[in-house]
């Protein structure tokens, strides 16, 4: 078993890995930029090492991270998600220097990180993909010709994209001309590569992804699916496991596709295969995420499998502890990404000091976060503060529990997305378990209700305070 792991990340995912290490008797080493000196992952780890004053450079420097891991006696590196988690150079450097990389091989990361290569691999394996360009586009003329053959609308995507960046929907030739250089610019800035490709746009799909685990002994299983259809501008906000929108036959089918996809590329460790399900019930491969996902928590909740612990065990060379038939699911789980953003101001990031923080509790409630009362949110990173996860035996109860947990949580001093999520849970379409990736676009009134209800809540609190004072 591994003895000491350097966690090449920050925030809540670093805290999550630290907790898994503690339960497994493995020492944890955190890293931090000066802006993160007072972050919770620094306080929780067994050891913590400074990366210097630059808020980003240290987290993105492969060689410095590997050198630090070796200098501090670590025998493995866990990349978390984001930063270098899907950078094959980190995996390659770890292997070259004798460290265990907790993830798939560099070759698989590189292949699946190239969206056109991933599509070709899936086609060869017999996994359905959406119609699209045969490879990267050379110029706008080729893009226009390809789009005309596929038929509008189309999705213009960065070949190395991810996290909702480097992607634009184009409803006609004019939109494609307008977006072509924009996506190339985004791809170059965000991913260091200017390649783009086209896919047929699946209109109003459901976003279904499947969690898989694969070891170095030829074993590969799925742990059922997650529904990530509630999103804004291709960024996930609320995730659900299992999906309330597919039946058991579809569940087994898409789980089988995910295992087929993982085996086809020789995948090892934890990974996620993302699909789009169209209105006719057809599933199309979208991408493979070669890392732990933000939303791994809800899969853990319905299956009882600690995915981070399994990641570490697989990387250490152990075989999977579970056969496919032993993976049982129970109930429904839902995760809310609590972001420091102002929904009524176009989701503008809201950084600053958290004056008070209360985590929700009670049966079936879990909170993963890296904040505390008095913590100052640095402006250099993602706006996610915490993840609230709720579980219940049935769909209606998990929605009600989610609403109660969102009322329980208290984050003061910054704006958050909490009121917006409460409005989503109140919506009859959501409560009926019927929604797709266009849900928020189709219901812009949710933002208006959120703002109005917040004013009503403030007025009610003031009225109660006045009445209480009058009665003294």
Catalytic residue among 119, 226, 277, 291: 291
Query: Is the domain covering 131-200 a CATH 1.20.1250.20 domain?
Result: no
Characterize the bridge pairing of strands 376-377 and 352-353. Answer: antiparallel
Q: What share of the chain is helix, strand, coil (3-state, %, to 5)?
A: 40, 25, 35
Domain layout of the chain by residue ranges = 4-102, 131-200, 206-442
Predicted confidence at residue 454, as pLDDT, reads 52
- pLDDT tens for 30-55 read 999 999 999 999 999 999 999 999 99
DSSP conformational letter for 433: T
Dihedrals phi, psi of 237, to nearest 5 degrees: -120, -45
The region that residue 437 occupies, defined by phi over 0 for left and psi between -120 and 50 for alpha, beta otherwise, is: alpha
Predicted confidence at residue 187, as pLDDT, reads 85
CA 454 to CA 469: how far, in whole Å? 23
Nearest to 157 by CA among 174, 125, 135: 135
**May I ask the CATH class of domain 206-442?**
alpha beta
- Structural tokens at position 245: 């929108």
DSSP string, 273-284: EEEEE-TTS-EE
| 291 in catalytic set | yes
Greatest Cα pair distance in the chain: 77
The partner residues of 288 in beta bridges, in order of sequence, read 273
What Rg value do the Cα atoms of the chain yield, rounded? 22
Predicted confidence at residue 461, as pLDDT, reads 46
The mean per-residue pLDDT over the stretch 128-152 comes to 94
- Structural tokens at position 13: 């995912």
CA 434 to CA 432: how far, in whole Å? 6
- pLDDT tens for 185-217 read 988 887 888 889 999 999 999 999 999 999 999
List helix spans (H) across 45-168: 62-71, 88-96, 106-113, 115-125, 140-150
Is it the case that residue 363 has pLDDT exceeding 70? yes
DSSP conformational letter for 345: G
Nearest to 334 by CA among 433, 439, 261, 453: 433
- Structural tokens at position 436: 């797709």
The mean per-residue pLDDT over the stretch 97-119 comes to 96
Quote the percentage of the chain above a pLDDT of 90: 88
Is it the case that residue 56 has pLDDT exceeding 80? yes
What is the CATH code for 4-102? 3.40.50.20
CA 400 to CA 392: how far, in whole Å? 9
Nearest to 384 by CA among 424, 351, 410: 351
Sign of the Cα pseudo-torsion (365, 370, 373, 376, in order)? negative
Tell me if 307 sits within 8 A of 241, measured CB to CB: no
Neighbours of 348 (CB within 10 A): 12
- pLDDT tens for 376-413 read 999 999 999 999 999 999 999 999 999 999 999 999 99
Torsion of CA 86, 88, 90, 93, to 10 degrees: 170
4-102 and 206-442 share one fold:
no
Neighbours of 96 (CB within 10 A): 10
CA 48 to CA 14: how far, in whole Å? 11
User: If pLDDT is split at 50, 70 and 90, which confidence band does 422 have?
Assistant: very high
Please give the model's pTM, rounded to 2 decimal places.
0.91
CA 194 to CA 165: how far, in whole Å? 13
Residue whose entry in the numeric block shows the structure tokens 């933000």? 294
User: If pLDDT is split at 50, 70 and 90, which confidence band does 471 have?
Assistant: low
């Amino acid at each position: 078993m591994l003895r000491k792991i350097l966690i090449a990340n920050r925030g809540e995912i670093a805290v999550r890995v630290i907790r898994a290490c503690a339960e497994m008797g493995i020492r944890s080493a955190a890293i931090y930029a000066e802006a993160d000196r007072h972050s919770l992952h620094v306080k929780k780890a067994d050891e913590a090492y400074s990366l210097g004053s630059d808020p980003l450079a240290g987290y993105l420097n492969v060689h410095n991270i590997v050198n630090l891991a070796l200098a501090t006696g670590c025998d493995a590196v866990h990349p978390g998600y984001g930063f270098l988690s899907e950078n094959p150079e980190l995996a390659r450097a770890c292997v070259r220097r004798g460290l265990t990389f907790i993830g798939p091989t560099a070759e698989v990361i590189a292949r699946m990180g190239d969206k056109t290569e991933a599509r070709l691999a899936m086609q060869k394996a017999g996994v359905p993909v959406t119609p699209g360009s045969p490879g990267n586009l050379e110029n706008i003329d080729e893009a226009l010709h390809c789009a005309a053959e596929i038929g509008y609308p189309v999705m213009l995507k960065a070949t190395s994209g991810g996290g909702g960046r480097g992607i634009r929907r184009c409803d006609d030739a004019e939109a494609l001309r307008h977006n072509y250089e924009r996506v190339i610019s985004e791809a170059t800035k965000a991913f260091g590569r200017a390649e783009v490709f086209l896919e047929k746009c699946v209109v109003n799909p459901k976003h279904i992804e499947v969690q898989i685990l694969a070891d170095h002994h030829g074993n590969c299983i799925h742990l059922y699916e997650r529904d990530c259809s509630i999103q804004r501008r291709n960024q996930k906000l609320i995730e659900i496991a299992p999906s309330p929108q597919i039946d058991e036959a579809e569940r087994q089918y898409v789980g089988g596709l995910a295992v087929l996809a993982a085996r086809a590329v020789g995948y090892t460790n934890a990974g996620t295969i993302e699909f789009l399900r169209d209105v006719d019930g057809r599933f199309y491969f979208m991408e493979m995420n070669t890392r732990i996902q933000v939303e791994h928590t809800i899969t853990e909740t319905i299956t009882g499998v600690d995915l981070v612990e399994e990641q570490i065990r697989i990387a250490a060379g152990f075989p999977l502890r579970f056969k496919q038939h032993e993976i049982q699911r129970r109930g429904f789980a839902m995760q809310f990404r609590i972001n420091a953003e102002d929904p009524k101001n176009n989701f503008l990031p809201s950084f600053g000091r958290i004056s008070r923080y209360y985590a929700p509790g009670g049966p079936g409630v879990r909170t993963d976060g890296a904040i505390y009362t008095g913590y100052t949110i640095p402006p250099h990173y993602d706006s996610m503060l915490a993840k609230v996860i709720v579980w219940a035996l049935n769909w209606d109860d998990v929605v009600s529990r989610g609403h109660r947990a969102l009322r329980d949580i208290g984050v003061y001093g910054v704006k958050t997305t909490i009121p917006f999520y409460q409005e989503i849970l109140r919506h009859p379409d959501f409560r009926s378990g019927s929604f797709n990736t266009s849900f928020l676009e189709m219901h812009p009134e949710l933002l208006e209700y959120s703002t109005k209800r917040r004013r009503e809540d403030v007025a009610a609190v003031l009225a109660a305070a006045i009445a209480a004072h009058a009665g003294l």
